[in-house]
Amino acid sequence: MARQIRFNAFQMNTAGHQSPGLWRHPRDSSHRYTDPQHWIELAQLLERGLFDAVFLADVLGVYDVYKQSHATALARGVQVPLNDPLALVPLMAGVTEHLGFGVTAALTYEHPYTFARRLSTLDHLTQGRIGWNIVTGYLDSAARNLGQQRQLAHDERYDLADEYLEVVYKLWEKSWEDGAVLRDKASGIYTDPARVHPIGHEGRYYSVPGIHLSEPSPQRTPFLYQAGSSPRGNAFAGRHAEAAFVSGPGKGVVKGYVDKLRAATADAGRDPGALLVYGQALIITGESSEQARERHAEYLEHVDVEAALALLSGWTGVDFSRLPLDATIDYIESDAGRSALASFTTADPGRQWTVRDAARFIGLGGRGPVLTGAASEVADQLEDWLDSTGINGFNLAFAVAHESMRDVVDYIVPELQRRGRYPTSYTPGTLRHKLAGRGPRLAASHPATQVVIPSHFSEEAL
Amino acid sequence: MARQIRFNAFQMNTAGHQSPGLWRHPRDSSHRYTDPQHWIELAQLLERGLFDAVFLADVLGVYDVYKQSHATALARGVQVPLNDPLALVPLMAGVTEHLGFGVTAALTYEHPYTFARRLSTLDHLTQGRIGWNIVTGYLDSAARNLGQQRQLAHDERYDLADEYLEVVYKLWEKSWEDGAVLRDKASGIYTDPARVHPIGHEGRYYSVPGIHLSEPSPQRTPFLYQAGSSPRGNAFAGRHAEAAFVSGPGKGVVKGYVDKLRAATADAGRDPGALLVYGQALIITGESSEQARERHAEYLEHVDVEAALALLSGWTGVDFSRLPLDATIDYIESDAGRSALASFTTADPGRQWTVRDAARFIGLGGRGPVLTGAASEVADQLEDWLDSTGINGFNLAFAVAHESMRDVVDYIVPELQRRGRYPTSYTPGTLRHKLAGRGPRLAASHPATQVVIPSHFSEEAL
């Protein structure tokens, strides 16, 4: 049987997101991001379309590599102004029953003790629908504002990440035993103190002696997402992630990412087939092939090349303002810049890609492919992408809020359902039930459930 | 004209709160605190009763002074398990239009750069209904879990608090000029970079060079609450607070707090009459005087003296397990313990107060008075408290969730309205409009609007 296709919505608590300049489109409403109604409408739309989850990206800084200034990001509306993603979750959860929430939280930026409680609280309030996209942070501008001269070196960030996860896993998985909370009005015992354990964590970066403040939530550890593609990031994902996000302009690049992720999962002793991988994509569709193509042309007119370059510069660390727009790969001196541009050629290997081409490419939907056409044409492409890259579904960016998502729900979902390649109802239960097919807790083989807390410490405290 | 009486609801994201043991009452539903519906019902109830706000208390630790252990707090359900208060705000805001939200956030526990964005986001999503209860943190157990050996010395905490506020004020008030956000689809300019300023903060505790990530929210700086009663805490409140919470068992104690707060406000060059002060109280009422008294007796039966002592020990730092329950003030050696017990005598000066008396007192509604009777009797007491202490309203604790609040809304609010001492509709606008009578921004005399950011820094960055 052909594999089912999964949809995830890629969003951010800002105007625009992965389609720089598209906020200028007359029908775009993404500037309404400060209005709760904007998110309520989106949540209801996505649940109607049986989306797995809405994934809320975040950065804790400004894109300031381009021209060594934040001026372009501000002027062109490149992911700034930008609000906290976590606050959107209770709001959208309040008007939905099944939709999951993947929230990006960079773990160098909040202490694990407070963060663990924040996520436990959201898992309680969403009744088990919270996921966490583990990010180690990639903008120097964020690190500086948190009092660090610059962010930690790449590998040290992953060391810190490993310890951070150890702390939150201890809090989520080991501090409170199942059944510790009795709520027994007759005996007057709310919690059995013998079944609540201080975690006694003393590490290189963190010291957390005490108990978790939250009682166990439906999933305990939130459903775990990861998006890294560096070797160390891959190993990290292989060890921890239940789902991963990848983005690349062509199938070859994406298949490479997927293969590496699954290999890293196997290396970590976990079932590589159990890792869900979502590939980033933008779908442009409509009532007909013609309408879809008109929309594509219309959207393309609203791409802001300079905004796209500010985004690309932030992602790669290369200041693309120093290159002519018609520079090809041979012209680019930095390795990161060449590698950034080279990845685009996989979308169309016959072409000599210029900086302008790359900017226009990411101008619609970011680094993922743009799949344009009537529902049947797009469905063909989705099936092809899924079957030839090994991904499990798509992390769908939008061009125009919420038109892009509405078109997917109205046209693509029914077409895929007709083909038997899309769910016709939600799986009951937590996000983990829905995505991993089992739950609500992590498998016993996952490192989260294998952390150990000192038992003598627990006894002493009583 | 007699002054209006204001109501505020005193809550916490936990089972029980200020009435230790009352979670055991058969009609109490506070163990439903992890269920979003519990909070939705409360929000709708409070808005029906024209409450100013729901005030969400928080501690980031466990009460572990009593018997030098957290066992009693866990077993007796003393403010543990305890979830994040912030997550409740978008949920309750989604089902109300006017109700305000006062959230406690201890400022030694999160970096001001991330915290400022969190509160700006909530001010956006609530459309200007967010307030912040500035707390410097008082539990050692919280400090330890954040990697500090113990919390900072009292006075140093206030130094850090002053700098913390300086940072968040700069971010909220000075980083983005009014009108900086153009959202101009025609010109393609989202934000005018010349009107967004890096704050360039370099202080003793924090270094925050960059811009605020959020655009100005309706109130910019959230409505500011404070609850400290130490001399340094008073000075802090006098300088910063727009509203203050006080709690004391008798009118004399409360009047003393109010007078000191207003004096501190005057000392800081602000209008002492403009400071709103809410006094903590528990109202027990019903259809008749008899029903109210029955409820009082019934509630009192469910007070858990040991739980109350765990709470009192945490508040005062004195381990009350070392004292016999019938110990009077003369028996107590520690200054803090004597002073704690002495404050209760103001509720009934003719009595020799014992430790047990104090525990039973705080067992119903914490350190505030219990006002029992039919609506007219309670209204008399409320008027008397208001007029003789100088408070502006009451921060109402509950005994039984949500019965206590429902009784206030159903019986007390209409009685006070008949007397012309309670609003009959909400003032339109933000929380600041509703509470300060003007808004949405802080007055030009407030220190938040007087912070200065280096202008050369702003220019350089462009």
Distance between start and end Cα atoms, chain A: 56
Which chain B positions have a beta carbon within 8 Å of A82's beta carbon?
Answer: 117, 213-214
Whether the predicted pLDDT of B172 surpasses 70: yes
Using CA of residue A57, residue A60, residue A62, residue A65, what is the dihedral sign? negative
Chain B CB contacts of A303 under 8 Å are none
The token duo for B388 is 């003789």
Chain A environment of B185 (Cβ under 8 Å): 23-26
Position B460 pLDDT exceeds 70? no
Residue B191 pLDDT greater than 80, yes or no: yes
Q: What is the pLDDT of residue A335?
A: 84
What is the pLDDT at residue A94?
Answer: 95
Q: How large is the greatest C-alpha to C-alpha distance in chain B, in angstroms?
A: 78
Report how far residue B102's alpha carbon sits from residue B44's, in angstroms, rounded to the nearest whole number.
Answer: 16
Question: CB distance B24–A188 less than 8 Å?
Answer: yes
Distance from CA of B160 to the nearest CA of A (A): 15
Instruction: Answer whether A94 sits within 8 Å of B36, measured CB to CB.
Output: yes
Identify the residue among B84, B148, B184 best suited for mutation to test binding to A, counting A beta carbons within 10 A and taking the highest. Answer: B84
Please compute the mean of the pLDDT values over residues B293-312 and round it to a whole number. Answer: 96
Report the distance separating Cα B33 and Cα B56, nearest Å.
12
Q: Is the pLDDT of residue B150 over 80?
A: no
Tell me the ipTM for this assembly.
0.96
pLDDT band at B459 (very low <50, low <70, confident <90, very high): very low
What H or E segment, with its residue span, contains residue A112?
Answer: helix A112-125
Two structure tokens written together for B361: 């007192």
Nearest CA in chain A to B189: A75
Give the pLDDT mean for B260-270. Answer: 95
CA distance B35 to A27: 37
Half-sphere exposure of B377 (CA within 13 A, CB side): 16
Compute the distance between CA of residue A56 and CA of residue A63 in angstroms, rounded to an integer: 18
Give the minimum alpha-carbon distance from A226 to chain B in angstroms, rounded to a whole number.
22
| Subunit contact B26:A183, Cβ cutoff 8 A | no
Asked if pLDDT for residue B151 goes beyond 70, the answer is: no
Q: State how far residue B173 is from chain A, nearest Cα, in angstroms.
A: 15
The per-residue b/e assignment along B152-176, b for 16 or more CB within 10 angstroms, e otherwise, is: beeeebbebbbbbbbbbbbbbbbbb
Task: Provide the token pair at B160.
Answer: 């850090």
**Residue of chain B whose alpha carbon sits nearest to that of A21:** B188
Work out the average pLDDT over B200-219. Answer: 95
Cα angle B337, B343, B346; round to 5: 150
Stretch B402-425: mean pLDDT, rounded? 98
Q: Do B90 and A36 touch (CB under 8 A)?
A: yes
Rounded percentage of chain B residues whose pLDDT exceeds 90:
79
Q: How confident is the model at residue B158 (pLDDT cuts 50, 70, 90)?
A: confident
Q: Mutate which of B42, B68, B83, B302 to test chain A, going by most A C-beta atoms within 10 A?
A: B83
Residues of chain A with pLDDT below 70 are 1, 137-141, 148-152, 154, 456-462
> What pLDDT score was predicted for residue A129?
98
Chain B residues inside the 8 Å CB shell of A208: 145, 147
- The pLDDT assigned to B458 comes to 47
Closest CB to A69: pick one of B15, B181, B461: B461
Mean pLDDT of B56-76: 94
- Nearest CB among B62, B196, B215 relative to A210 is that of B62
What is the average per-residue pLDDT within B22-26?
97
Assign B461 a pLDDT band (cuts: 50, 70, 90): very low
Q: What is the pLDDT of residue B138?
A: 56
| Average of per-residue pLDDT values in chain B | 92
Cβ-Cβ contacts under 8 Å for B91 (sequence gap 6 or more):
A90, A91, A93, A94, A125, B36, B39, B40, B43
Q: Quick check: B129 pLDDT over 80? A: yes
Q: Are B82 and A124 in contact (CB < 8 Å)? A: no
Nearest CA-CA partner of A416 in A295, A296, A299, A283: A283
Nearest CA in chain A to B122: A87
pTM: 0.96
- For domain B6-301+369-453, say whether CATH 3.20.20.30 is its number: yes
Residue of A59, A122, A187, A191 to mutate, testing the B interface (most B Cβ within 10 Å of its Cβ): A191
What pLDDT, on a 0 to 100 scale, did the predictor assign at position A139?
62
For residue A178, the tally of other CB atoms under 10 A from its CB is: 9
* Percent of chain B scoring above 70 in pLDDT: 96
Three-state secondary-structure class, residue A288: coil
pLDDT in the model for residue A187? 96
How is residue A56 annotated by DSSP?
E
Each residue of A242-258: pLDDT tens digit?
999 999 999 999 999 99
User: Mutate which of B33, B125, B301, B303 to disrupt the A interface (most A C-beta within 10 Å)?
Assistant: B125
Closest-CA residue of chain B to A212: B81
> Cβ separation of A208 and B93 shorter than 8 Å?
no
- Contacts B147 to A, Cβ<8 Å: 111, 206-208
B83, B91, B111 member nearest A94 (Cβ)? B91
Please compute the mean of the pLDDT values over residues B39-45 and round it to a whole number: 98
Domain ranges of chain B: 6-301+369-453
3-state secondary structure B275-329: CEEEEEEEEECCCCHHHHHHHHHHHHHCCCHHHHHHHHHHHHCCCHHHCCCCCEH
Structure tokens that stand for A418 in this block: 């007709």
